[in-house]
């Protein structure tokens, strides 16, 4: 008996009863009906325009040996969000490494590679897997390997949501939305917006949705099996919170359950985009999820996070290719222009200054520090320390440390011996690590601008320390072009603290990141 026939038969029974009994029939009686649907079938909300978020730190890595290209954005000073995002990038690389046996190390590309274009390409997470893999802006070399792409999908009040999709030529395809509260620093992957019982509840609601058109109201819904749980947990990890309060959950094809199978309903063959209305979601969200939902429905303007100088944000130089530019012998009238060029590109550098110049440039040193760069010790009067007594070495170092502390309020932590000259006595007396360099730009050697530029751009490898001097006009003149050239090769411009993962060396002689 189908549903309509059953209703007709029940109505006939009602009529029969009314014929032989005095008060009028109770016409309010109705046969059991399906409850109002709790879920809707909807579409994926549009991604946001990535250009609107161009102030956020944007990354892109490419390693042709391992076969990986990845793009993502981070938030200034928000380590929790950044690590959740980079964990996904790392996991994709690790899978590739264990499949191919080639170890990962950050790599750079030849000049002209265009890798200064970083961060999300709008709409890339919605493209087909083969399209992503084949696109040179997104995919690995020759389409063989893994591509990690991103879209900004939510930006409301303090909340930002970044969808990250990792697609590989081995047919794996995983999408996760990572949320951040930019004012508290909290971060969560989308599955963490849902309370523990949400998975089973929503699974049951989807089963009900799929069997509504069958005559199966009496069949009770069981808990999902392992495959059902895996499908649901992958779906919840992609939840998008929309301004009307609906939580959109894309459930991959293949959804089924024992009761659907028993009803002869075949597994879904296409992605099913489920809308969970706010009313149902209310009982299923964690406090963070509930807060995000309530903010989203107030349609608040996105509040971008407070800006942090690029030099203060940790950079993982084992994931991205880093280069540490260093400027010696200043500060001078050329230093402000160099700082301007660094700021335009969200780059950071290290300035090894002399104590005798510090006294006349207090404001400039303050600015250098405030903009996130490091101010370190290059002695007081720039002598060859190896030729001095230990007492004079001590005076050169200590007077400069005092000048740096007086100007910036922050003590110097490393030094650079003038001319790169040192011996054991110098190292012991200085009591700090001596930072040398592995790339000399020759900016002091009266070579052409072209020569400085090509040395500073072409020679660095990931982890290099580059020697320049902010007392020469050619150094200032070529600064912007040097940064652009390095960014184009894929480098991130870091200071020495970032190069050493937040832990500046305390002793010994350093020429580059080991
Ligand atoms: Ni010098």
pTM of the prediction?
0.89
Confidence (pLDDT) at 29: 61
The pLDDT tens digits for 120-153 are 999 999 999 999 999 999 999 999 999 999 999 9
What's the mean pLDDT in 303-324?
93
d(CA 126, CA 137): 15
d(CA 163, CA 170): 21
d(CA 228, CA 201): 12
Confidence (pLDDT) at 14: 37
Query: Could you tell me the pLDDT band of residue 18, with boundaries at 50, 70 and 90?
Result: very low
The pLDDT tens digits for 425-455 are 999 999 999 999 999 999 999 999 999 999 9
What's the mean pLDDT in 29-47?
78
CA of 347 to the centre of ligand 1 (A): 22
d(CA 188, CA 81): 7
Residue with the larger pLDDT of the pair 25 and 495: 495
Query: Could you tell me the pLDDT band of residue 34, with boundaries at 50, 70 and 90?
Result: low
Confidence (pLDDT) at 101: 82
CA of 439 to the centre of ligand 1 (A): 15
Q: Answer yes or no: 135 catalytic.
A: no
Query: Could you tell me the pLDDT band of residue 223, with boundaries at 50, 70 and 90?
Result: confident
Confidence (pLDDT) at 221: 74
Which of 151, 191, 328, 443 is flagged as catalytic?
328
What does the domain layout of the chain look like in residue ranges?
Answer: 34-308, 311-510
d(CA 126, CA 139): 14
Confidence (pLDDT) at 219: 60
d(CA 104, CA 281): 42
Which of 346, 378, 469, 472 is flagged as catalytic?
469
Q: What kind of architecture, by CATH, is found in domain 311-510?
A: Alpha-Beta Barrel (3.20)
Q: Answer yes or no: 328 catalytic.
A: yes
Q: What is the DSSP letter of 386?
A: G
Residue 459 pLDDT > 50, yes or no?
yes
| Torsional class of 221: left (φ above 0), alpha (ψ -120 to 50), beta (otherwise) | beta
Burial class (CB in 10 A: 0-12, 13-18, 19+), 178: buried
Confidence (pLDDT) at 9: 41
Confidence (pLDDT) at 431: 97
Confidence (pLDDT) at 19: 39
d(CA 223, CA 246): 24
Residue 176 to residues 148, 167, 235, Cα–Cα distance (Å): 11, 12, 9
Strands 439-440 and 272-276: unpaired
CA of 376 to the centre of ligand 1 (A): 12
What's the mean pLDDT in 19-33?
56
**CA-based nearest residue to 452, from 423, 472, 430:** 472
Residue-wise DSSP of 303-339: -PPPP--GGGS---TTTS-EEEEEEES---TTHHHHH
């Amino acid at each position: 008996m189908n549903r309509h026939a059953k209703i007709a038969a029940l109505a006939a029974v009602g009529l029969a009863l009314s014929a032989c009994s005095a008060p009028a029939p109770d016409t309010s009686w109705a046969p059991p009906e399906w409850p109002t649907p709790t879920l809707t079938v909807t579409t994926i909300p549009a991604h946001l325009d990535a250009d609107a978020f161009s102030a956020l730190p944007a990354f892109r890595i490419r390693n042709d040996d391992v076969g990986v290209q990845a793009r993502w954005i981070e938030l200034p000073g928000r380590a929790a969000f950044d690590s959740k995002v980079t964990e996904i990038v790392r996991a994709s690389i690790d899978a590739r490494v264990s499949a191919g046996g080639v170890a990962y190390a950050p790599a750079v590309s030849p000049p002209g590679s265009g890798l200064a274009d970083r961060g999300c390409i709008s709409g890339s997470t919605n493209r087909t897997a083969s399209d992503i893999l084949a696109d040179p802006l997104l995919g690995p070399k020759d389409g063989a390997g893994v591509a990690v792409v991103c879209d900004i999908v939510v930006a409301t009040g303090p909340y930002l949501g970044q969808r990250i999709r990792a697609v590989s030529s081995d047919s794996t395809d995983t999408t996760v939305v990572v949320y951040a509260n930019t004012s508290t620093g909290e971060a969560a992957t989308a599955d963490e917006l849902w309370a523990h019982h949400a998975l089973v509840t929503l699974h049951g609601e989807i089963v009900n949705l799929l069997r509504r058109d069958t005559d199966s109201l009496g069949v009770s819904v069981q808990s999902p099996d392992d495959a059902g749980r895996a499908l649901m947990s992958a779906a919840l990890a992609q939840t998008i919170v929309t301004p009307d309060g609906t939580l959109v959950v894309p459930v991959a094809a293949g959804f089924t359950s024992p009761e659907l199978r028993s009803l002869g309903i075949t597994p879904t063959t296409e992605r099913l985009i489920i809308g969970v209305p706010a009313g149902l979601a209310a009982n299923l969200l964690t406090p963070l999820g509930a807060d995000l939902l309530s903010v989203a429905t107030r349609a608040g303007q996105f509040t971008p996070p407070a800006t942090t100088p690029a030099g203060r944000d940790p950079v993982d130089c084992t994931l991205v290719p880093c280069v540490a530019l260093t400027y010696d012998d200043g500060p001078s009238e050329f230093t402000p222009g160099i700082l301007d060029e660094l700021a335009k590109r969200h780059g950071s550098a290290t300035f090894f200054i002399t104590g005798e110049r510090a006294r006349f440039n207090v404001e400039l040193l303050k600015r250098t520090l405030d903009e996130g760069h490091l101010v370190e010790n290059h002695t007081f009067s720039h002598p060859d320390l190896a030729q001095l007594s230990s007492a004079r070495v001590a005076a050169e170092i200590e007077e400069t440390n005092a000048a740096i502390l007086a100007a910036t309020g922050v003590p110097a932590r490393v030094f650079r011996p003038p001319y790169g000259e040192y011996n054991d006595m110098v190292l012991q007396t200085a009591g700090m690590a001596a930072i040398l360099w592995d790339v000399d730009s020759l900016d002091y050697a009266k070579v052409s601008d072209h020569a400085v530029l090509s040395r500073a751009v072409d020679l660095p490898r990931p982890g290099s320390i580059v020697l320049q001097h902010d007392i020469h006009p050619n150094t200032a003149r070529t600064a912007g072009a040097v940064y652009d050239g390095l960014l184009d090769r894929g480098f991130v411009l870091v200071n020495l603290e970032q190069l050493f993962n937040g832990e500046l060396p305390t002793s010994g002689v350093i020429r580059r990141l080991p």
